[in-house]
Structure 1
Amino acid sequence: MQEIQELTDEQKLMIAIGRDEHVFKQFFLRNFVVLKDYAFSIVRDDLQAEDIASEVLWRTWNLGDRFIEVKSISAYLYRATKNSCLNQLRNKVIQYEPVSSHKDNLIDDLSPETLLLSNERMQEIEGAINQLSPKTKEAFLLVKDYQLTYKEAGESMGISPKTVDRHIQLALKKLYFLLKEKK
């Protein structure tokens, strides 16, 4: 089995600070198959595994200068991939039935009304996240969007993992009440 290829400090700087797309593309291509195979071992769906691997690598690019702070690229990528897989399974996004059995529902699910409602709900969620205090918002996004561990998020923010945990608790509580009001 192949393994994640670590980057040199120079390559990390070229991606994080220099935003060198060529270096990132090489990094992406070298590690995509490894992450896809790892994701497949969890979700057992080839297309979903490809999506997860691509998304994890794309989030890595979006870390920007915070990418420098990642100590172990392989540990970060494996953890992010595992978390993405588990989130997909938990949210029941992965369907184990053939798509053909859902083809009538797919057309209904993509109706303009459904798309509009889902877009409106996403705007409500984003608005609620924007109402969080800056530190709480940062902790929430690092943990939930970038799927960093509390320890990694704490290191990035210069605070303890316990403080990150407290920020996440506050964020979830506030988001729950803000979004509950809008229902």
Structure 2
Amino acid sequence: TVSQKVDQPMTLGETLPDYYEENLHYWEEDRQQLHGALSQLEDKTQAAIEFVFLRELPRKEAAKRIGVSPMTVTRHVKRGLQELVTLMKSQASERLAS
């Protein structure tokens, strides 16, 4: 009971909610949604996003690996980011509706 715990020492960590664990759940959910949205992109657009953002390659290197010009990588990245925003918003709306 509460009265029994009054005299026992308690750390601040024991009294605060565990936001880290809660946030891990949300981060994992976001990661899964992003992966799902990425998989819906056209192959070269998906590759451009993955090389530039996830692998942090320069656009010139990404272009070599994809087989397009650096300018085309830039276009794929721009288009891909727009599509990801749309897809992620749609997924969020579906989640809220259910």
Q: Deviations over 1:87-130 (max 9, x none)?
A: xxxxxxxxxxxxxxxx68x852223x433232112111110011
| 1:140 alignment counterpart | 49
Structure whose CA Rg is larger: 2
| 2:33 alignment counterpart | 124
Distance, in Å, in 1 between the alignment partners of 2:31 and 2:49 is: 16
Q: Deviations over 1:29-83 (max 9, x none)?
A: xxxxxxxxxxxxxxxxxxxxxxxxxxxxxxxxxxxxxxxxxxxxxxxxxxxxxxx
> In percent, how many aligned pairs have the same letter?
37
Which residues of structure 2 form unaligned runs of 5+? 1-12, 93-98
**Segments of 4+ moved more than 3 angstroms:** none
Paired residues, number: 79
- TM-score (norm. length: structure 2): 0.70
Which residues of structure 1 form unaligned runs of 5+? 1-102
Matches within 5 A, 1:43-122: 108-111=18-21, 113-122=22-31
Deviation at 1:149, TM superposition (A): 1.1
- TM-score (norm. length: structure 1): 0.39
Distance, in Å, in 2 between the alignment partners of 1:114 and 1:146 is: 24
Q: CA RMSD in A?
A: 2.0
